[in-house]
Amino acid sequence: MHNHNTLRRGSHRRLVALICTLFFYASILSPTHAHEQTLPEIGAPSGSVLTPSEEQKLGQAFMRSIRKTMDLLDDPLANSYIQSLGNRLAQQTGSTAGSYNFFIVDNPQVNAFAGPAGNIGVYTGLITTTESESELASVMAHEIAHVSQNHLVRTYDAVSRMSVPAAAMILAAIVIGAAANNPDAAVAAATGIQAGMVQRQINFTRNHEEEADNIGIQILAAADFDPRSMPVFFDRMGQATRLYDTGQLPEFLRTHPVTSNRIADAHGRADQYRYRQRPDSLEYHLLRAQLKASEFTQDKNAVQFFGSSLRDGRYRNEEGQRYGYMLSLIAAREMDRAREQLNILLKQRPQQIHYIVADALLLKKTGQPDQGIAALIDGLTLYPGNYPLTIYLAQSLLEAGRPAEAIPVLEKQVAGHPDDSSLYKLLAQAAGDSGDTTLGRQYLAEYHYHSGNLEPAMQQLQLALSDRKLDYYRSAKMAARLKLIRQELADLKKRGK
């Protein structure tokens, strides 16, 4: 488990990094508001604040900062699930596919946040704390409502009317959940800002929280989840509040204060919908088990936990618990016992992607990498173009010394995942290992860029352009890309980042 002080120091570094990025965008996107201090009406149209292009730029900068300063879960199956669940909810707002980007922060804190341009982060600690898929969906629906109702854009308008440094600091604090609804924390985060100005902004965001609860419950009902899961989760968080000193509250309770009035309001709204008991998806239970297994510092303790809970019948979902047991046994290098458990799962669902991936992993770890690769290829026959299977296949091909085969497999995914830094990292490795140094540098540049490291991205493109064998088309394409990144870096430096 993570050390508490380390987490606090990490949170501070993350806040500082994000403040710097948003400070730059606050100054270039809304310079005319720099010295005004009038808060907008709640219903102010977002189009007068940021154009779609400007908001997209802000969202891209936000994600580069997030990738650079926070630990994101690099697991294709987990990320595919959270994106799928998020898309299902977001569709109820009339959003088109690809309008939202959902990602998982690898952190045991109970928290979630919404950033600009539909970027929504969910912490691993939140996922393992929820007791049903509807509870997880309720928190995500709440964050989606912040986006669909333009809360961040409205907040941007409000804070951009202050001085630019004040605007950037408050916006950064709100975005990552450092001070959204906690007066003391907000004042601390926005050092040097008049307390009254901060308090007005906090009152403004409290209205956002109420509206997000209301819209979130509507989203839940429309997506066929249990609307009562939101007040139920709030109830449990409210009970947890009494177990902590104020300074020790979980991050979710700091940024989403659960008052008796808020719980009562949520119950009242949810009671307007007929009761529905929706079973959790298997994928939800598999993800919870996977994350639970990873929480143990010693693999043998995870084996003991899952093994005893299966024997005693202490679980919400037997299949999910067995999956966690199997993963723990693999981690503990008890391969024969892991194979026994996996065979039980495969007998139940031979076409379940999680089990196909686990089968390939177990085959690789028992000295049969080619058979593992074959299992993944068979899986892609069942599910053509499946992103998790593609990534695991590419990784297996690289580990087996077959990088040239990995390149076309990975390149098919670029169009659908243009901002996926881990995809570019794999492509860079595959190209480099196969002997195409120039292509490797080109993909490595994209990896650095989407990870928030602009200078290394420029350096890699410059090295790639020094290849005298480059054809005109590739050379021109890379030169144009280098020009864009160089301009962005120059703007950042000019604004004092």
* Location of structure tokens 């173009």: 385
Q: What is the pLDDT of residue 204?
A: 47
Structure tokens at 268: 């009242």
Q: What is the mean pLDDT of the chain?
A: 81
- Specify the long-range contacts of residues 256-265, CB closer than 8 Å, at least 24 apart: 256/142, 256/180, 256/181, 256/209, 257/181, 257/182, 258/234, 262/209, 262/210, 262/213, 262/234, 263/231, 263/234, 263/235, 263/238, 265/210, 265/213
Over residues 241-264, the mean pLDDT reads 62
Percent of the chain with pLDDT over 70: 74
Domains parsed from the chain with CATH numbers = 4-270 (no CATH), 401-497 (1.25.40)
Least confident of 80-94, 117-131, 204-218, 298-312: 204-218
Over the stretch 221-235, which tens digit does the pLDDT of each residue have? 999 999 999 999 988
List residues forming the annotated binding site for Zn(2+).
142, 146, 209
- List 103's β-bridge partners, or say none: 121
Q: What is the pLDDT of residue 159?
A: 55
Over residues 312-321, the mean pLDDT reads 96
pLDDT at 297 > cutoff 60: yes
* Among candidate residues 388, 340, 385, 339, the one with its CA nearest the CA of residue 363: 339
Q: What is the pLDDT of residue 265?
A: 83
Over the stretch 249-260, which tens digit does the pLDDT of each residue have? 555 656 666 667
Least confident of 61-65, 144-148, 468-472: 61-65
pLDDT at 442 > cutoff 90: yes
* Among candidate residues 423, 404, 402, the one with its CA nearest the CA of residue 412: 423
With H, G, I as helix, E, B as strand and everything else as coil, classify residue 103. strand
Over the stretch 18-48, which tens digit does the pLDDT of each residue have? 433 443 333 333 333 333 333 223 333 444 4
Read off the amino acid at residue 195. A
Over the stretch 330-370, which tens digit does the pLDDT of each residue have? 999 999 999 999 999 999 999 999 999 999 999 999 999 99
Least confident of 38-47, 118-127, 267-276, 289-298: 38-47
pLDDT at 199 > cutoff 80: no
Please list the active-site residues. Answer: 143, 213
pTM, whole model, 2 decimals?
0.80
* HSE, side-chain direction, 13 A CA sphere, residue 416: 12
